[in-house]
Chain A
Amino acid sequence: MLQIKDLHVSIDGKEILKGIDLEVKAGEVHAIMGPNGSGKSTLAAALAGREMFAVTKGSVTYMNENLLELSPEDRARKGLFLGFQYPVEIPGVSIVNFMKTAINEHRKFKGLEPISASDFLKHMREKKELVGLTSSLTNRSVNEGFSGGEKKKNEIFQMAMLEPILAILDETDSGLDIDALKIVAQGVNQLRRKDNATIVITHYQRLLEYIVPDFVHVLYKGRIVKSSGKELALELEEKGYDWIKTEE
């Protein structure tokens, strides 16, 4: 599904990612861990196509296509979803309106008619339940005045609404209380299918107890310095990152 080869990414001429190799197959869950500032969000943003993250070298193939040639909106329409570490506020735009616009853009891309009001409401009700979002929240403007946890739940809600093929969740667990964490993990697990995949970026082993990864990668100073099975997360939790840094 996704093949990243020797990916280099710079911001303002400063190289942040220094050659990333990663392959994600359908049905898999990958976890990416690593100390602050190591480049995890940079990787996520570069995959989603944020302009200020310039790819200077390497290639990314997504669903047998050159991902790097696609506009950010086309990447999204082709099923790539990014759950933001810091979701932005869009004052005055209700979540309902925002989601309806997004879904209709996805549909238009697939050559489908806009969704009917009743289908949309039904879809929305279903997904709200899945992540335990209340109507009082979905009637508000996108992320405006949301608590940290509410913002993260809203990201998962949007993911559920858009049913992506590849979801990249950037620290969706931080800021969530235990109950919310379980709900979010449950949501992710319910959306798991043989033909989609998830990359979870996290600092905590705790999330991985609920969303069990097939692989764990450690990103350090712009490189993946270690890849292993789910037991790696436990090891990191115990020992921290120092042993990896020294191993290097």
Chain B
Amino acid sequence: MEESQDHILNEVTGGEYKYGFITDIETETIPKGLNEDVVRLISAKKKEPDFMLEFRLKAYRHWLTMKMPQWAHLTIPEIRYQDIIYYAAPRQQVGPKSLEEVDPELLRTFDRLGIPLEEQKMLSGVAVDAVMDSISVKTTFRETLAELGIVFCSMSEAIREYPELVKKYLGTVVPYTDNYFASLNSAVFSDGSFCYIPKGVRCPMELSTYFRINAANTGQFERTLLVAEDDSYVSYLEGCTAPMRDENQLHAAVVEIIALENAEVKYSTVQNWYPGDRNGKGGIYNFVTKRGICKGDNSKISWTQVETGSAITWKYPSCILRGNNTIGEFYSVAVTNNYQQADTGTKMIHIGKNSRSTIISKGISAGHGQNSFRSLVKVVKSADKVRNFTQCDSMLMGDKCGAHTFPYIEVENESAVIEHEATTSRIGEDQIFYCNQRGIDTENAVGLIINGYAREVLNKLPMEFAVEAQKLLAISLEGSVG
């Protein structure tokens, strides 16, 4: 355990972007461009049942009628959708049964990322689904989890092996008409994770998906679906990295969570897609729709995110609090350094009586970074005694970056209690000197102060990720002071 943590630490320390390497592996790609045939081809490659193809085609046709959203506080260069490759897969057997069937080069890749796929080498208590480009490479601990009735596998497998479950839930929280990127994702999504926790089961280990973009000129469109039946519990982690390339790459994912009565789902993300270089060249466009529904009474969904990567981030993990006494939480740290841009936040839709939500956002802008927080707290007429607390803090480093907040509140029920706090701060020269005087150099002092600032959010992460996230925060701000 300790050894693996050290390993993660070593991987993450040492400055700059650590995960920029490219795996040299034979990759099967389809020609670039998007049309109905491409959608059909993706579905065929995945040997999907008809209902999936239907879903994809409806989504694609709808997407054609839509325009890219313009409301975010982002400057997005034109994306040429016909220049993107929509399917790329490391050439290997579909759904390898054992590790021996997985290409050693792929294993080495995930090893280098600090995600060993041999179960005995892994952090105990974490099951991983490793996704590279358009397909899942390997899901660990499947058998152990299956004994409890937990399904944890790639989305492609779920569609083939649990079509009824997928059919019942896919697109129910984020419909294929939801928004531009969600529609695109619904049409062309390639892989992702599927997770089903049966009634009354507390998932004994952290489930995690590790996303890796490798191939050039491809888009990554993963789709994750998480269903927690009555009285169940699961904590889920998601990590992501990509090679350094000069061209921008599009990543448009959809995550849906369904929490039934008394269920609790914790969803944590450490997002470290390649952010581009110091001058803003390259990097991932991260346009993601994440939404959960607290469908049953007393259910709870918590989103925790540490966003340090990507050239542009557009992402609002949200909760629909439909059941009574439900709880929605959003804890976020978002860093924008150099020329990174982020427009992120959450929506809390209160429909159930007595539903409560907490929003804690810590933005950090450095260099020429632009960091926007956007939130919507909505209380419908029938939702009595709703409570919300929102705290939105911004930290600025240097004078060329920007922090912006866009909190929206729509309340139709007078019994609601909505609180909002906001602060803006800077790292003081006196704070840095105080650390210097204790023997801590300026880079480390900044790391320490930033981690202190973000502590409320970092504390919400599972142990294994908290350590990594702390290092990541310090590294992504290296060179931004002094």
Mutual binders A and B: yes
State whether B451 touches A93 (Cβ < 8 A). Answer: yes
Assembly CA distance A51 to B482 (angstroms): 11
B69 close to A (CB within 8 Å): no
For chain B residues 380-435, which have a beta carbon within 8 Å of chain A? 428-431, 433-435
State whether B441 touches A105 (Cβ < 8 A). Answer: yes
Report if A105-B454 is in contact (Cβ < 8 Å); known contacts: A84-B434, A90-B431, A98-B448: no
State whether B441 touches A71 (Cβ < 8 A). Answer: yes
For chain B residues 40-86, which have a beta carbon within 8 Å of chain A? none
State whether B452 touches A91 (Cβ < 8 A). Answer: yes
Name B438's closest neighbour in chain A (CB-CB). A102
Report if A72-B455 is in contact (Cβ < 8 Å); known contacts: A90-B448, A90-B449, A101-B448: no
**Contact residues in A for B455 (Cβ distance below 8 Å):** 92-93
Contact with A along B448-472 (1 / 0, CB 8 A): 1101111110000000000000000
Report if A72-B436 is in contact (Cβ < 8 Å); known contacts: A88-B428, A88-B431: yes
Contact with B along A53-95 (1 / 0, CB 8 A): 0000000000000000001110011000110100111111100
Assembly CA distance A73 to B453 (angstroms): 22
Chain A interface residue bracket vs B: 20 to 34
State whether B453 touches A92 (Cβ < 8 A). Answer: yes
User: In whole Å, how far is B207's beta carbon from the nearest beta carbon of chain A?
Assistant: 29
State whether A76 touches B437 (Cβ < 8 A). Answer: yes
State whether B436 touches A102 (Cβ < 8 A). Answer: no
Assembly CA distance A205 to B439 (angstroms): 32
Report if A90-B452 is in contact (Cβ < 8 Å); known contacts: A84-B434, A101-B444: yes
State whether A72 touches B433 (Cβ < 8 A). Answer: yes
State whether A93 touches B436 (Cβ < 8 A). Answer: no
B1 close to A (CB within 8 Å): no
User: In whole Å, how far is A105's beta carbon from the nearest beta carbon of chain B?
Assistant: 4
A-B contact count (CB 8 A): 74
User: In whole Å, how far is A115's beta carbon from the nearest beta carbon of chain B?
Assistant: 13
B440 close to A (CB within 8 Å): yes
State whether B434 touches A73 (Cβ < 8 A). Answer: no
**Contact residues in A for B456 (Cβ distance below 8 Å):** 92
State whether A91 touches B444 (Cβ < 8 A). Answer: no
**Contact residues in B for A90 (Cβ distance below 8 Å):** 431, 434-435, 448-449, 452
Assembly CA distance A90 to B440 (angstroms): 14
Report if A93-B433 is in contact (Cβ < 8 Å); known contacts: A76-B439, A105-B439, A105-B440: no
Interface residues in B, total, Cβ within 8 A = 23
Query: Quick one: which of B429, B438, B448 has the most chain A CB within 10 A?
Result: B438
**Contact residues in B for A77 (Cβ distance below 8 Å):** 439
Assembly CA distance A158 to B439 (angstroms): 12
For B454, give its contact among A73, A92, A106 (CB under 8 Å): A92
For chain A residues 194-247, which have a beta carbon within 8 Å of chain B? none
Report if A102-B440 is in contact (Cβ < 8 Å); known contacts: A50-B433, A84-B434: yes
Assembly CA distance A109 to B444 (angstroms): 14
Assembly CA distance A77 to B441 (angstroms): 10
Assembly CA distance A82 to B439 (angstroms): 11
A48 close to B (CB within 8 Å): yes
A174 close to B (CB within 8 Å): no
A187 close to B (CB within 8 Å): no
Assembly CA distance A87 to B442 (angstroms): 18
**Contact residues in B for A84 (Cβ distance below 8 Å):** 434, 437
Name B433's closest neighbour in chain A (CB-CB). A50
State whether A109 touches B439 (Cβ < 8 A). Answer: yes
**Contact residues in B for A98 (Cβ distance below 8 Å):** 435, 438, 448
Report if A48-B454 is in contact (Cβ < 8 Å); known contacts: A90-B431, A93-B448: no
Name A81's closest neighbour in chain B (CB-CB). B437
State whether A93 touches B437 (Cβ < 8 A). Answer: no
Name A75's closest neighbour in chain B (CB-CB). B437
Query: Quick one: which of B431, B433, B437, B453 has the most chain A CB within 10 A?
Result: B437
**Contact residues in A for B433 (Cβ distance below 8 Å):** 48, 50-51, 72
Name A48's closest neighbour in chain B (CB-CB). B437
State whether A92 touches B434 (Cβ < 8 A). Answer: no
Assembly CA distance A81 to B438 (angstroms): 7
Assembly CA distance A158 to B429 (angstroms): 20
State whether A101 touches B453 (Cβ < 8 A). Answer: no
Report if A72-B437 is in contact (Cβ < 8 Å); known contacts: A92-B451, A92-B453: yes
Assembly CA distance A92 to B453 (angstroms): 6
Assembly CA distance A93 to B450 (angstroms): 9
State whether B452 touches A73 (Cβ < 8 A). Answer: no
For A87, give its contact among B429, B434, B439, B453 (CB under 8 Å): B434
User: In whole Å, how far is A48's beta carbon from the nearest beta carbon of chain B?
Assistant: 5
**Contact residues in A for B431 (Cβ distance below 8 Å):** 88-90
Assembly CA distance A90 to B428 (angstroms): 10
Name B450's closest neighbour in chain A (CB-CB). A92
User: In whole Å, how far is A71's beta carbon from the nearest beta carbon of chain B?
Assistant: 7
**Contact residues in A for B430 (Cβ distance below 8 Å):** 88
A141 close to B (CB within 8 Å): yes
Assembly CA distance A109 to B455 (angstroms): 28
A162 close to B (CB within 8 Å): yes
A34 close to B (CB within 8 Å): no
Assembly CA distance A105 to B444 (angstroms): 10
B: which residues have CB within 8 A of A? 428-431, 433-442, 444, 448-449, 451-456
Q: List 24 A-B contacts (CB under 8 A).
A: A49-B436, A50-B433, A51-B429, A72-B433, A72-B436, A73-B436, A76-B437, A76-B439, A81-B437, A88-B428, A88-B434, A90-B452, A91-B453, A92-B451, A92-B454, A92-B456, A93-B449, A93-B451, A93-B452, A98-B438, A101-B448, A102-B439, A105-B441, A109-B439
10 pairs of A and B residues whose beta carbons are closest in the complex: A92-B452, A93-B452, A92-B455, A72-B436, A102-B438, A76-B439, A105-B439, A77-B439, A73-B441, A88-B430
